[in-house]
Amino acid sequence: MVEDVVRPADGLTGIGLDFVDAQLEASVLDVLAAVETDLRASVTSADPFVTEAARHLVVAGGKRFRPLLVALGAQFGDPTAPQVVPAAVVMELTHLATLYHDDVMDEAPVRRGAQSANSRWTNSVAILVGDYLFARAADIAADLGIEAVRLQARTFARLVQGQIAETVGPRAGDDPVTHYLDVISGKTGSLIATSAQFGGMFGNASAEHTAALAGYGETIGVAFQLSDDLLDIASESVQSGKTPGTDLREGVPTLPVLYALASDDSDASSARLRDILSTGPVTDDALHAEALGLLRESPAMKRARETVRSYAEDARQRLSPLPDCPPRRALESLCDFIADRTS
Protein backbone atom coordinates (compact mmCIF):
# COMPACT_ATOMS: atom_id res chain seq x y z
CA MET A 1 0.00 0.00 0.00
CA VAL A 2 1.13 3.61 -0.61
CA GLU A 3 1.03 4.46 3.08
CA ASP A 4 3.70 1.83 3.79
CA VAL A 5 6.32 3.47 1.57
CA VAL A 6 9.09 4.83 3.79
CA ARG A 7 10.60 8.13 2.65
CA PRO A 8 12.79 9.35 5.52
CA ALA A 9 13.87 12.52 3.75
CA ASP A 10 10.33 13.74 3.03
CA GLY A 11 9.78 15.27 6.45
CA LEU A 12 13.07 17.18 6.41
CA THR A 13 11.84 19.62 3.77
CA GLY A 14 11.55 23.07 5.28
CA ILE A 15 13.47 22.38 8.48
CA GLY A 16 16.52 24.24 7.19
CA LEU A 17 19.13 21.64 8.09
CA ASP A 18 22.38 21.67 6.14
CA PHE A 19 23.97 18.23 6.56
CA VAL A 20 27.36 19.70 5.53
CA ASP A 21 28.78 16.23 4.95
CA ALA A 22 27.53 13.38 2.73
CA GLN A 23 28.55 10.71 5.24
CA LEU A 24 26.65 12.49 7.99
CA GLU A 25 23.58 12.79 5.80
CA ALA A 26 23.66 9.08 4.95
CA SER A 27 24.02 8.13 8.62
CA VAL A 28 21.12 10.33 9.73
CA LEU A 29 18.86 9.16 6.92
CA ASP A 30 19.60 5.54 7.82
CA VAL A 31 18.37 6.22 11.35
CA LEU A 32 15.26 8.03 10.11
CA ALA A 33 14.42 5.21 7.67
CA ALA A 34 14.62 2.69 10.51
CA VAL A 35 12.48 4.97 12.67
CA GLU A 36 9.76 5.08 9.99
CA THR A 37 9.66 1.30 9.80
CA ASP A 38 9.59 0.87 13.57
CA LEU A 39 6.94 3.58 14.04
CA ARG A 40 4.50 1.66 11.87
CA ALA A 41 5.28 -1.59 13.66
CA SER A 42 4.99 -0.02 17.10
CA VAL A 43 1.40 1.17 16.60
CA THR A 44 0.11 -2.10 15.19
CA SER A 45 -2.55 -3.69 17.38
CA ALA A 46 -4.48 -6.94 17.32
CA ASP A 47 -7.54 -4.74 16.84
CA PRO A 48 -7.66 -3.45 13.24
CA PHE A 49 -9.53 -0.31 14.27
CA VAL A 50 -6.91 0.61 16.86
CA THR A 51 -4.20 0.06 14.26
CA GLU A 52 -5.99 2.26 11.74
CA ALA A 53 -6.58 5.09 14.20
CA ALA A 54 -3.09 4.90 15.70
CA ARG A 55 -1.41 4.90 12.28
CA HIS A 56 -3.51 7.86 11.13
CA LEU A 57 -0.94 10.53 11.99
CA VAL A 58 2.08 8.26 11.55
CA VAL A 59 1.38 7.85 7.84
CA ALA A 60 0.39 11.52 7.47
CA GLY A 61 4.10 12.32 7.73
CA GLY A 62 5.54 15.39 9.39
CA LYS A 63 8.98 16.86 9.89
CA ARG A 64 10.21 14.09 12.23
CA PHE A 65 12.17 16.86 13.93
CA ARG A 66 12.50 14.96 17.21
CA PRO A 67 13.89 11.76 15.65
CA LEU A 68 16.19 13.96 13.59
CA LEU A 69 17.66 15.46 16.75
CA VAL A 70 18.06 11.99 18.27
CA ALA A 71 19.96 10.95 15.15
CA LEU A 72 22.15 14.05 15.19
CA GLY A 73 22.81 13.81 18.91
CA ALA A 74 23.96 10.22 18.50
CA GLN A 75 26.62 11.43 16.05
CA PHE A 76 28.68 12.62 19.02
CA GLY A 77 29.02 9.00 20.07
CA ASP A 78 28.01 5.95 18.05
CA PRO A 79 25.01 6.57 15.75
CA THR A 80 24.80 2.84 15.01
CA ALA A 81 24.28 1.92 18.67
CA PRO A 82 21.24 -0.39 18.92
CA GLN A 83 19.23 1.84 21.23
CA VAL A 84 19.34 4.98 19.06
CA VAL A 85 16.42 4.04 16.79
CA PRO A 86 14.13 2.89 19.65
CA ALA A 87 14.93 6.13 21.51
CA ALA A 88 13.88 8.13 18.44
CA VAL A 89 10.67 6.12 18.16
CA VAL A 90 9.87 6.87 21.81
CA MET A 91 10.23 10.59 21.16
CA GLU A 92 8.09 10.59 18.02
CA LEU A 93 5.34 8.46 19.59
CA THR A 94 5.23 10.79 22.57
CA HIS A 95 4.95 13.75 20.22
CA LEU A 96 2.22 12.10 18.15
CA ALA A 97 0.25 11.31 21.32
CA THR A 98 0.17 15.02 22.15
CA LEU A 99 -1.09 15.88 18.65
CA TYR A 100 -4.17 13.69 19.07
CA HIS A 101 -4.93 15.45 22.35
CA ASP A 102 -4.15 18.91 20.93
CA ASP A 103 -6.63 18.43 18.08
CA VAL A 104 -9.39 17.64 20.57
CA MET A 105 -8.59 20.72 22.65
CA ASP A 106 -8.34 22.94 19.56
CA GLU A 107 -11.31 21.31 17.80
CA ALA A 108 -9.03 21.09 14.78
CA PRO A 109 -10.59 19.64 11.61
CA VAL A 110 -7.27 19.04 9.82
CA ARG A 111 -3.84 17.83 10.86
CA ARG A 112 -0.89 17.50 8.47
CA GLY A 113 -3.13 17.97 5.48
CA ALA A 114 -5.45 15.13 6.45
CA GLN A 115 -8.70 14.97 8.37
CA SER A 116 -7.92 15.03 12.09
CA ALA A 117 -8.65 11.93 14.14
CA ASN A 118 -11.29 13.71 16.19
CA SER A 119 -13.07 14.79 13.01
CA ARG A 120 -12.75 11.40 11.33
CA TRP A 121 -13.91 9.50 14.39
CA THR A 122 -14.78 11.27 17.67
CA ASN A 123 -13.09 13.26 20.42
CA SER A 124 -13.24 10.24 22.70
CA VAL A 125 -11.48 8.04 20.15
CA ALA A 126 -8.80 10.68 19.54
CA ILE A 127 -8.10 11.00 23.28
CA LEU A 128 -7.90 7.25 23.75
CA VAL A 129 -5.61 6.81 20.74
CA GLY A 130 -3.32 9.49 22.14
CA ASP A 131 -3.24 7.54 25.41
CA TYR A 132 -2.49 4.35 23.48
CA LEU A 133 0.46 5.96 21.70
CA PHE A 134 1.88 7.26 24.94
CA ALA A 135 1.56 3.77 26.43
CA ARG A 136 3.40 2.30 23.46
CA ALA A 137 6.14 4.91 23.89
CA ALA A 138 6.48 4.02 27.57
CA ASP A 139 6.65 0.32 26.72
CA ILE A 140 9.54 0.88 24.31
CA ALA A 141 11.24 3.22 26.80
CA ALA A 142 11.16 0.44 29.39
CA ASP A 143 13.47 -1.59 27.18
CA LEU A 144 15.91 1.33 27.18
CA GLY A 145 16.24 1.32 30.96
CA ILE A 146 14.92 3.05 34.04
CA GLU A 147 16.60 6.38 33.25
CA ALA A 148 14.84 6.52 29.88
CA VAL A 149 11.47 5.82 31.53
CA ARG A 150 12.09 8.47 34.18
CA LEU A 151 13.21 11.09 31.67
CA GLN A 152 10.29 10.42 29.32
CA ALA A 153 7.80 10.64 32.20
CA ARG A 154 9.29 13.89 33.51
CA THR A 155 9.32 15.33 30.01
CA PHE A 156 5.68 14.43 29.50
CA ALA A 157 4.83 16.00 32.86
CA ARG A 158 6.50 19.25 31.77
CA LEU A 159 4.67 19.13 28.47
CA VAL A 160 1.29 18.68 30.16
CA GLN A 161 2.06 21.42 32.67
CA GLY A 162 2.83 23.72 29.76
CA GLN A 163 -0.48 22.86 28.15
CA ILE A 164 -2.32 23.49 31.42
CA ALA A 165 -0.57 26.86 31.84
CA GLU A 166 -1.60 27.83 28.31
CA THR A 167 -5.20 26.76 28.96
CA VAL A 168 -5.46 28.60 32.28
CA GLY A 169 -3.58 31.67 31.07
CA PRO A 170 -1.40 34.02 33.09
CA ARG A 171 -2.52 34.66 36.64
CA ALA A 172 -3.02 38.11 38.12
CA GLY A 173 0.32 39.85 38.34
CA ASP A 174 2.05 37.51 35.86
CA ASP A 175 3.87 39.03 32.92
CA PRO A 176 2.06 37.70 29.81
CA VAL A 177 5.27 37.50 27.77
CA THR A 178 7.13 35.55 30.45
CA HIS A 179 4.12 33.28 30.82
CA TYR A 180 4.01 32.68 27.07
CA LEU A 181 7.71 31.83 26.86
CA ASP A 182 7.34 29.45 29.82
CA VAL A 183 4.42 27.75 28.05
CA ILE A 184 6.50 27.21 24.91
CA SER A 185 9.42 25.87 26.94
CA GLY A 186 7.10 23.32 28.50
CA LYS A 187 4.93 22.41 25.52
CA THR A 188 7.61 22.41 22.81
CA GLY A 189 11.10 22.85 24.22
CA SER A 190 10.91 20.01 26.73
CA LEU A 191 10.37 17.19 24.23
CA ILE A 192 12.91 18.55 21.75
CA ALA A 193 15.45 18.85 24.59
CA THR A 194 14.89 15.23 25.58
CA SER A 195 15.18 14.15 21.94
CA ALA A 196 18.65 15.66 21.64
CA GLN A 197 19.54 14.28 25.07
CA PHE A 198 18.36 10.79 24.12
CA GLY A 199 20.62 10.96 21.06
CA GLY A 200 23.63 11.64 23.24
CA MET A 201 22.62 9.12 25.90
CA PHE A 202 21.91 6.20 23.63
CA GLY A 203 24.70 7.02 21.20
CA ASN A 204 27.01 6.74 24.22
CA ALA A 205 28.28 10.32 24.00
CA SER A 206 30.00 11.82 27.04
CA ALA A 207 27.95 13.30 29.87
CA GLU A 208 29.24 16.79 29.01
CA HIS A 209 28.21 16.46 25.37
CA THR A 210 24.83 14.99 26.27
CA ALA A 211 24.10 17.91 28.61
CA ALA A 212 25.07 20.39 25.90
CA LEU A 213 22.72 18.66 23.46
CA ALA A 214 19.84 18.87 25.92
CA GLY A 215 20.37 22.59 26.45
CA TYR A 216 20.58 23.16 22.72
CA GLY A 217 17.41 21.14 22.10
CA GLU A 218 15.28 23.14 24.50
CA THR A 219 16.49 26.49 23.20
CA ILE A 220 16.21 25.61 19.51
CA GLY A 221 12.73 24.22 20.17
CA VAL A 222 11.56 27.52 21.63
CA ALA A 223 13.21 29.42 18.78
CA PHE A 224 11.44 27.29 16.17
CA GLN A 225 8.04 27.83 17.78
CA LEU A 226 8.57 31.58 18.07
CA SER A 227 9.67 31.78 14.44
CA ASP A 228 6.51 29.91 13.41
CA ASP A 229 4.53 32.56 15.29
CA LEU A 230 6.23 35.27 13.28
CA LEU A 231 5.73 33.46 9.99
CA ASP A 232 2.00 33.32 10.68
CA ILE A 233 2.06 37.10 10.53
CA ALA A 234 4.88 37.88 8.10
CA SER A 235 4.28 35.26 5.42
CA GLU A 236 2.36 36.30 2.33
CA SER A 237 1.78 32.64 1.45
CA VAL A 238 1.31 29.37 3.34
CA GLN A 239 5.01 29.23 4.25
CA SER A 240 4.02 28.79 7.89
CA GLY A 241 1.88 25.74 7.06
CA LYS A 242 -1.40 27.59 7.52
CA THR A 243 -3.20 30.62 6.17
CA PRO A 244 -1.35 33.80 7.25
CA GLY A 245 -2.97 35.49 10.22
CA THR A 246 -4.67 32.33 11.49
CA ASP A 247 -3.49 32.91 15.07
CA LEU A 248 -4.74 36.49 14.91
CA ARG A 249 -8.15 35.38 13.64
CA GLU A 250 -8.41 32.73 16.38
CA GLY A 251 -7.30 35.08 19.15
CA VAL A 252 -4.09 33.18 19.91
CA PRO A 253 -1.83 35.66 21.76
CA THR A 254 1.54 34.97 20.13
CA LEU A 255 4.71 36.91 20.91
CA PRO A 256 4.28 39.83 18.43
CA VAL A 257 0.71 40.36 19.66
CA LEU A 258 1.80 40.29 23.29
CA TYR A 259 4.57 42.79 22.59
CA ALA A 260 2.10 45.03 20.74
CA LEU A 261 -0.41 44.93 23.58
CA ALA A 262 2.29 45.70 26.16
CA SER A 263 3.69 48.58 24.11
CA ASP A 264 3.38 52.14 25.37
CA ASP A 265 4.25 53.59 21.95
CA SER A 266 2.04 56.61 21.38
CA ASP A 267 2.17 56.81 17.60
CA ALA A 268 -1.14 56.41 15.77
CA SER A 269 -0.32 53.03 14.23
CA SER A 270 0.65 51.43 17.54
CA ALA A 271 -2.40 52.86 19.29
CA ARG A 272 -4.70 51.65 16.51
CA LEU A 273 -3.13 48.18 16.62
CA ARG A 274 -3.65 47.95 20.39
CA ASP A 275 -7.29 48.95 19.94
CA ILE A 276 -7.90 46.16 17.44
CA LEU A 277 -5.98 43.48 19.33
CA SER A 278 -7.55 44.29 22.70
CA THR A 279 -10.94 43.07 21.46
CA GLY A 280 -9.75 39.44 21.26
CA PRO A 281 -10.09 37.28 18.12
CA VAL A 282 -10.02 39.47 15.00
CA THR A 283 -12.64 37.78 12.84
CA ASP A 284 -13.86 40.70 10.76
CA ASP A 285 -12.06 40.47 7.40
CA ALA A 286 -11.39 44.19 7.08
CA LEU A 287 -10.11 44.54 10.65
CA HIS A 288 -8.06 41.36 10.25
CA ALA A 289 -6.35 42.70 7.14
CA GLU A 290 -5.70 46.02 8.86
CA ALA A 291 -4.28 44.41 12.00
CA LEU A 292 -2.09 42.09 9.95
CA GLY A 293 -0.66 45.03 8.01
CA LEU A 294 -0.05 47.06 11.16
CA LEU A 295 1.61 44.12 12.91
CA ARG A 296 3.97 43.48 10.02
CA GLU A 297 5.31 47.04 10.21
CA SER A 298 5.16 47.43 13.99
CA PRO A 299 7.96 47.85 16.54
CA ALA A 300 6.44 44.78 18.23
CA MET A 301 7.27 42.66 15.20
CA LYS A 302 10.82 43.98 15.15
CA ARG A 303 11.18 43.18 18.85
CA ALA A 304 9.81 39.67 18.30
CA ARG A 305 12.35 39.08 15.52
CA GLU A 306 15.12 40.16 17.89
CA THR A 307 13.81 37.69 20.49
CA VAL A 308 13.89 34.85 17.96
CA ARG A 309 17.44 35.72 16.96
CA SER A 310 18.50 35.83 20.61
CA TYR A 311 17.15 32.31 21.18
CA ALA A 312 18.85 31.06 18.01
CA GLU A 313 22.15 32.56 19.16
CA ASP A 314 21.68 31.10 22.65
CA ALA A 315 21.15 27.67 21.06
CA ARG A 316 24.39 28.10 19.10
CA GLN A 317 26.31 29.00 22.25
CA ARG A 318 25.04 25.89 23.99
CA LEU A 319 26.85 23.81 21.38
CA SER A 320 30.24 25.22 22.43
CA PRO A 321 31.26 22.16 24.52
CA LEU A 322 30.87 19.94 21.44
CA PRO A 323 33.76 19.28 19.05
CA ASP A 324 33.93 21.23 15.80
CA CYS A 325 32.70 18.56 13.39
CA PRO A 326 30.00 18.06 10.71
CA PRO A 327 27.25 17.10 13.23
CA ARG A 328 27.87 20.28 15.23
CA ARG A 329 27.89 22.39 12.07
CA ALA A 330 24.61 20.77 11.02
CA LEU A 331 23.05 21.75 14.34
CA GLU A 332 24.45 25.27 13.92
CA SER A 333 22.83 25.47 10.49
CA LEU A 334 19.43 25.21 12.20
CA CYS A 335 20.30 28.30 14.22
CA ASP A 336 21.15 30.19 11.02
CA PHE A 337 17.95 29.02 9.36
CA ILE A 338 15.76 30.20 12.24
CA ALA A 339 17.53 33.55 12.47
CA ASP A 340 17.09 34.10 8.73
CA ARG A 341 13.59 32.72 8.06
CA THR A 342 11.78 35.56 9.83
CA SER A 343 14.10 38.42 8.81
Ranges of residues in the chain whose predicted pLDDT is under 70: 1-15, 106-114, 236-242, 343
Between CA 122 and CA 47 the distance in angstroms is 18
Calculated CA dihedral for residues 215, 217, 218, 220, nearest 10 degrees:
110
Region(s) of the chain under CATH 1.10.600.10: 19-205
Q: Which residues does residue 111 pair with via DSSP β-bridges, in sequence order?
A: 114
Inter-helix orientation angle 268-277/285-296, to 10°: 130
pLDDT at residue number 28: 94
Which residues lie below 8 Å from residue 210, measured CB to CB, with a gap of 6+?
Answer: 73, 197, 200, 201
DSSP result, 43-111: T--SSHHHHHHHHTTTTT----HHHHHHHHHHTTS-TT-TTHHHHHHHHHHHHHHHHHHHHHHHT-SEE
pLDDT at residue number 16: 72
Q: Which fold has domain 19-205?
A: Farnesyl Diphosphate Synthase (1.10.600)
Between CA 185 and CA 177 the distance in angstroms is 12
Query: Which amino acid makes up residue 297?
Result: E
Between CA 95 and CA 218 the distance in angstroms is 15
pLDDT at residue number 111: 62
Between CA 65 and CA 87 the distance in angstroms is 13
Give the SS3 label for residue 14: coil
pLDDT at residue number 237: 57
pLDDT at residue number 235: 76
> pTM surpassing 0.75?
yes
Between CA 157 and CA 166 the distance in angstroms is 14
